Amino acid sequence: MTEPFTNWAGNQRCVPARRLSPSSEGEVQAAVRAAGRAGEGLRVVATGHSFSPVHLTDGTLIDLERLHGVIEIDAARRRVTALPGNTVGELGEPLWAAGLALANQGDIDAQGIAGAIGTATHGSGIRLGSLSSMLRRCRIVTGTGDVIEIDGSQPHLLNAVQVAVGMLGVMTELELEVVPAYRLAERVEHWSYEEAIGRFDEHVERHLHFSLFWCPVERSAGLYGLELDPGKPSADACYVKIYDEAPEDVADSTTLGRRVDRSHRIYPMPEFEPNFHELEYFVPYERTKEAVGAMRELMLGSQPDAVFPLELRTVAADEAYLSPQYGTPTLVLSVSGEAGADYWGYLRDVDRLLGGEFDARVHWGKLHFLTAEQLHERYPEVQRFIEIRRELDPSGVFLNEHLRPLFA
């Protein structure tokens, strides 16, 4: 028996039959073929930042840490080619040195880049897509152990692989479209709920990145290490983050709440140990105020289970079949249950509200309650994805007990 695997947050665990760390595409092929011959499953894990059971298996669990490095940066084409073992954060400095940057990032940059792409990990900005939307080409080892290259000449395959949750194959090389390097000027402020939500649309349109944490009760902010103004009420209050491009004549600054620096240094929040387990649902952006108001009412009536802040972000529309943003810009609502507590009743209430009344789509790396019926109702191209999955992995090597009921 191998060492048990436990994810970053400590809420998912498995004991795989074997754990492998391949150092070449050929070794990945060998692992996939061996799993297929044995009739076992194979899943890939990077840094284990998913709260959902997407990476669990009792078969072969592989990591891609040894497939690491930046292969090429093409400044003229604004492309970076990298191996999947890099974290999101590790791309920052090499890109900066070439005069480039990722168009957007999330609060955490420790995820493996391939896993972040496969689960549609994102930042915030109504004109900015997820990391998945930046993928322009990749090589994958399919369920038969064959290697295929996917790019824009095969749009149906590219749209499938951009958000594939590891079900089409093991990614061994990827190429992302990036943007000219830019610095960000940060504004972190303490607003009332009315100030933040009343003019939410205006702020989203005005700023490159606008996001916030709504804190329902006094102790909410402290649970995420958010520092609110002690001179203002901390219950029913918002910790607001605004990032805009910094003009060239504005100097770098390390002043907290007013930092100015390279984009990849501003986006990530300080590292912290997860004391929460997160659910993240996406609703059409035009229903923002209705959805936020309904969530506020639910959370205020669900104390003490609903003590963690509600994070609100936006993401641009894209064309990836399993993307929460397929065909529509979205509002992202991130909801947390307290680690060690029985939070399931509260999160199921959130699911009934956002799923039942707003047809919410889900973050594949976060907790969710999506059924196969709901999947087909809310994701217009899911059947096309399933057909591609069956073609590239006919034996279901890359499925596990969490994914099989949805995608077999």
pLDDT on residue 2:
83
pLDDT on residue 319:
98
Closest CA to 170 of 133, 138, 136: 138
Intervals of CATH 3.30.43.10 along the chain: 5-62
pLDDT digits over 12-38, tens only?
999 999 999 999 999 999 999 999 999
pLDDT on residue 273:
77
pLDDT on residue 97:
98
Q: Which residues of the chain have pLDDT under 50?
A: none
Q: CA 117 → CA 9, 25, 166, distances in Å?
A: 20, 19, 10
CA distance 136 to 324: 19
pLDDT on residue 1:
60
Q: Specify whether the CB–CB gap between 119 and 108 falls below 8 A.
A: no
pLDDT on residue 290:
98
pLDDT on residue 348:
97
CATH topology of domain 70-180: 3.30.465
**CATH number for region 183-372:** 3.30.70.2520
CA distance 64 to 166: 13
Intervals of CATH 3.30.70.2520 along the chain: 183-372
Q: Specify whether the CB–CB gap between 259 and 267 falls below 8 A.
A: no
Intervals of CATH 3.30.465.10 along the chain: 70-180
**CATH number for region 5-62:** 3.30.43.10
